[in-house]
Every structure is written in C-alpha cells, then in structure tokens.
Amino acid sequence: MITLRDKVAIIAGGGRGIGEAAAKLLAEAGAAVAVVDVKPHRAERVATAIEKAGHHAIPIEAELREPDDVARMIETTCDTLGGIDTLVNVAGGLHAFSRWTRMAEWSEEQWDDAMSRNLRYVFLTCRAAISVMLEQGRGGSIVNIASMSGQFSAPIHSGYGAAKAGVVNLTMSLAEEYGRNGIRVNAISPGSVLTPATRSVLTEERIAEYRTLVPMARVGQPEDIAGAVLFLVSDFASYVTGQTLKVDGGASIKFPLPVPGLD
C-alpha cells in the first residue's frame, strides 16, 4: 500500500480535472495537501471535499506566473502545513485567445502566453519549492504534467508543444542538478484525458474516433493520471528520477500509419 503519511504536497492547479484528482488521491494516501488554483472557489471546493472525507487540505489562491504569488503559496504551505515534500505542477493549457491553429497564425502575444502558462510557472514553482526542500534537508519529489505534444509533433500544437517540450527538458535538468540532494523530479505526458478543459474539444465523434486509435480503446480519465502521480511521488519510485512517463492508453506505441486488415 502506498502511504504519504506525514508528507506535505502542493498541487499547483489543483482546482479541477487532473489536479483535483491528484489532490484527492494524495490526501487519501495520507498527505496534507495545499490545493492551489487561480480561481479561489475551485481551490476551496476541492479542499473542502478533502476535509469532509476526513483528510487534511488547505485552499490557496495564486496566479502561478507571478513570483510574488508563488512566494506566498510557498510561505502559506510551510506556515500552515509544516514544510514541503512534494510539488505537483498540473496547471497549463492555452488561453481562449490562443487558438489551436497553425503557427503562422499566432501572434507574439499568443506565443508568449503559451510559454508563460505552460513553462514559466513551472520554473517559478520548482525554483521556490526546491529552495525549501534544500533548506529542510530531507529531499523531496516533484512531478510536472507535460503532454504527448511535448514529445511528438502534432498539427496546430506548435506553441503548446514547444512549451511542454521545455517542461520535459527542465524536468531532466532539475533531476540531474538536485538528485544528490535527494530531490527527485519526474514528468508525466498524458494522452487525451477527459477534463473540464478538454470536454469542449473532445466531442462524442472525436471520442469515438480516439477509441479506435488507442490500444486500450478508451479516453483517459483524470484519475488515470492521478494514479501515476501517486506512484512517482511515493517511495515505490525512490530510484526513479528525470523520467517522463507516458500515460496514454498505449497511443504512442502504435505504428502511425493505417495497417490494412487491423480493426
């Protein structure tokens, strides 16, 4: 059984979707959880649900692209929960004005926003959390949610994919820099996952099509990614660092072209 008893976890972007599932699962495993979200009502809803289930959580409102907000998140977590053992970076995505279109149609503002939402904040939160972990001297674990778009080319994903590729490389670099301090840093690349942010994109027709392309014949759920997070932050992964785990139902293992006679 995986246990995170006496551990403190920050879930950056924990107010819905993958972040919510991860916050609840880590709390069930015994961690005290700081649920961080740019929308205070989302953080409060998830933290309240965790508390009602008999576990410990606090809500924190923060704009993770702002250094002052990140510093306040770290300070609040340490003061209230007693330190930091785990950081899970889930926030990301694209602003509504950064459409899923080809790169030539993007403005500099849209590009900068994609980098800020998906890479800059990971730098800020990792820098702040690692500083605390070093001071505590008891190691720690970080999991960054990347994307299959950061490891493979994809039409209309250039800005988002480039930022997520940066997350993958940053993960490896931090693992090398801080492994001797007992700090493990890993990433997860989800495939298509049904979250509040993706439901408007993944129509029923797209979901049906995806089922035919994925060996496991289904679209992922937030809990699928949360389970991988729990493994990576636990002692069961004590010798795992600098890795990017694909959690995609097997989509990335298939030959990319149609194979005649294969259903």
Domain boundaries, the chain: 8-246
pTM of the full structure: 0.93
94: pLDDT strictly greater than 90: no
For residues 160 and 98, the model is more confident at: 160
Task: Check residue 93 and give its pLDDT.
Answer: 83
Task: Check residue 116 and give its pLDDT.
Answer: 95
Instruction: Tell me the residue length of the chain.
Output: 263
Range of weakest confidence among 78-92, 130-144, 188-202, 222-236? 188-202
For residues 95 and 202, the model is more confident at: 202
Task: Check residue 187 and give its pLDDT.
Answer: 98
201: pLDDT strictly greater than 80: no
Task: Check residue 209 and give its pLDDT.
Answer: 82
Digit-coded pLDDT (tens) for 130-152: 999 999 999 999 999 998 877 88
Helix (H, G, I), strand (E, B) or coil at 127: helix
Task: Check residue 130 and give its pLDDT.
Answer: 98
Report the chain's mean pLDDT, rounded to a whole number: 91
pLDDT tier at 260 (50, 70, 90 boundaries)?
low
Rounded Cα distance between 60 and 43, Å, is 6
pLDDT tier at 24 (50, 70, 90 boundaries)?
very high
Secondary structure letter of residue 137 according to DSSP: T
- CB contact set of 195 (below 8 Å; sequence gap of 6+): 16, 17, 18, 222
Q: Which of 160, 178, 210, 239 is catalytic?
A: 160
Task: Check residue 97 and give its pLDDT.
Answer: 52
Q: Any idea which residue has 């027709």 for tokens? A: 205
Q: Cα Rg for the chain, rounded, in angstroms?
A: 18
Q: Is 99 left (phi over 0), alpha (psi -120 to 50) or beta?
A: beta
Q: CA separation (Å) from 230 to 48, 146, 180, 186, 226?
A: 21, 16, 22, 12, 6
What is the rounded average pLDDT of the residues 181-186?
98
Task: Check residue 126 and give its pLDDT.
Answer: 98
What is the rounded average pLDDT of the residues 31-56?
98
121 is catalytic: no
262: pLDDT strictly greater than 70: no
CATH value of 8-246 in 3.40.920.10, 3.50.50.60, 3.40.50.720, 3.30.930.10: 3.40.50.720
Asked whether the beta carbons of 152 and 189 are under 8 A apart, the reply is no
261: pLDDT strictly greater than 60: no
